[in-house]
Each structure stands twice: as structure tokens, then as C-alpha cells.
Amino acid sequence: MNERNVVPKPVDAVASARKAIDDLSASATQNATAARDTVKESYKVAREALGEMVERGTKAAKGTKDYLEAHPWVAVGAGVTLGILIGAIARRR
């Protein structure tokens, strides 16, 4: 057996393994970066959507409050009607 045939093969194997590890590491880093960016973007979109929903809910609540302050007897009538309906449903059971 020749010494030249024995030594280069382990060195080549180590170099190949090192290259494979470096490639895998680079790929994992790219995937992690892409995943982080995707999560950040999703969080941003969800936060904006939540802000819009809160704003719309606040406007709806203010509109309801203003209407009921201007028309209090409508609220009383709706409450009485709802009470009668619930009572009728409860009595049937």
C-alpha cells in the first residue's frame, strides 16, 4: 500500500464533510432568516388588522351610545321585547 493513497483520502473526506457542514449551516441560516422574516411580516399584518378592528369596534360602540342617548325609548322597547321573547322560550321548556 502506498502512503499517498492512504493520507489524501481521509483529508478529502474531512474536507468534504467540512464543506457539507458549511453548506448545511448556510442553508439553515437562510431558512431561519426567511422564517423569521415571514413571522415578522405576519405579526405586522395581524397587528394592523387588530388595530383596524379595534377602531371599527370603537366607532360602532360610540355610534350605538350616541343613538341610544338620542332615542332612549327605543332601547327600553328593545329590552322589553327581548325579555318577553326569552320568557316565552324559557316557559316552553
What does the pLDDT look like over 62-75, one tens digit per residue? 999 999 999 999 99
Distances (CA, A) of 47 to 14, 41, 44: 49, 10, 5
Which pLDDT belongs to residue 74? 92
Query: Which has the higher per-residue pLDDT, 17 or 77?
Result: 77
pLDDT tier at 29 (50, 70, 90 boundaries)? confident
pLDDT tier at 10 (50, 70, 90 boundaries)? low
What percentage of the chain's residues is helix, strand, coil (to nearest 5)?
A: 95, 0, 5
Q: Are 68 and 75 in contact (CB under 8 A)?
A: yes
- Quote the pTM value: 0.50
